[in-house]
Amino acid sequence: MKNPVVLHHGLFGFGNFRIGPLRLAYFAGGIERAIASRGHPLIISRVHPTAGIAYRARQLKETILRQLEILGPPNDRVIIIAHSMGGLDARYMISCLGMHTKVAALATISAPHHGSSYADWCLRHLGQRLGGLRLMQFMGLDVQAIHDVTPESCRRFNETVPDMPSVKYFSVGGGRPWHRVPAFMLHSYHTIYAAEGENDSLVAVNSAKWGKWLGVWPADHFHQINKRFVIEIKEPTGEISPYYLRLLDDIAK
């Protein structure tokens, strides 16, 4: 029996759910089917979409332990594939919540390990100038996640959340030229590019590096989970599922 694979979503993400006959999945397309075809039991996370890392990590731990109990032995250690902020949740859970004994490997996809300059922009402009974040907090909405992914917050995070020797860490980033990202992400792309260089429209390549670096996927932040908003004509990346399978191959090595 192969290790169960946990697919863990990022900021503003969600797990799988149905609305009548319609099934919505964060990791869309054939990602789940491709991984399951390799013989890996699947665990799909569903944590608070905008809460802070610590809160989301506790929910992730509860989900994994509950599902491992259902699967039973010998499914005692999982491989986590985490997208975006989900990578920080997973690192916190492994290091600070005693889950290093339950995780064989963590592979992060475009996670802001060193923060996102766009989070700084949002706090300055949407928070301080327009008061949008204060209004959301006044309404009882938890938006701690935006504070947690600033470069300064991630610097402190990296100082206090060490990697665990018993867990293997891998990472990939995403990169696309500006004319090949969704039009509604051009502002974030250019903001990040001016501060950090190559990026996928939300996370810079250099910020995504953690553990064993496995390179850059030619996909924007949404294409990485098979949500495609750009018509590809020249050198298309296409279906992203094969990239997940290569990721699993690299982990197995």
Q: Which residues contact 171 (CB under 8 A, 6 or more apart)?
A: 87, 107, 108, 109, 111, 113, 208, 209, 210, 211, 212, 213, 214
- Residue 180 φ/ψ, nearest 5 degrees: -120, 25
**What pLDDT shows up at residue 253?**
87
Looking at the predicted structure, is the pLDDT value of residue 218 above 70? yes
Tokens, residue 164: 């665990």
CATH architecture of 5-114+154-174+204-252: 3-Layer(aba) Sandwich (3.40)
Q: What is the pLDDT of residues 81-110, one digit of tens each?
A: 999 999 999 999 999 999 999 999 999 999
Looking at the predicted structure, is the pLDDT value of residue 136 above 50? no
pLDDT band at 144 (very low <50, low <70, confident <90, very high): confident
Task: Give pTM, 2 decimals.
Answer: 0.92
Alpha-carbon separation of residue 54 from 133, 149, 177, 222 (angstroms): 20, 12, 34, 24
Tokens, residue 54: 């610590």
Looking at the predicted structure, is the pLDDT value of residue 115 above 70? yes
| 9 vs 102: CA distance, rounded Å | 19
| 52 vs 165: CA distance, rounded Å | 25
At residue 145, what is the residue type?
Answer: A
Q: Tell me how many helices (H) and strands (E) the chain has.
A: 9, 8
Torsion sign (Cα): 65, 76, 101, 84: negative
Looking at the predicted structure, is the pLDDT value of residue 130 above 50? no
CB 103 within 8 A of CB 169: no
The DSSP bridge pattern shows strands 212-217 and 168-174 to be: parallel
Instruction: Give percent of the chain above pLDDT 90.
Output: 79
**What pLDDT shows up at residue 153?**
97
**What pLDDT shows up at residue 127?**
55
Considering the chain, what is the average pLDDT of its residues? 91
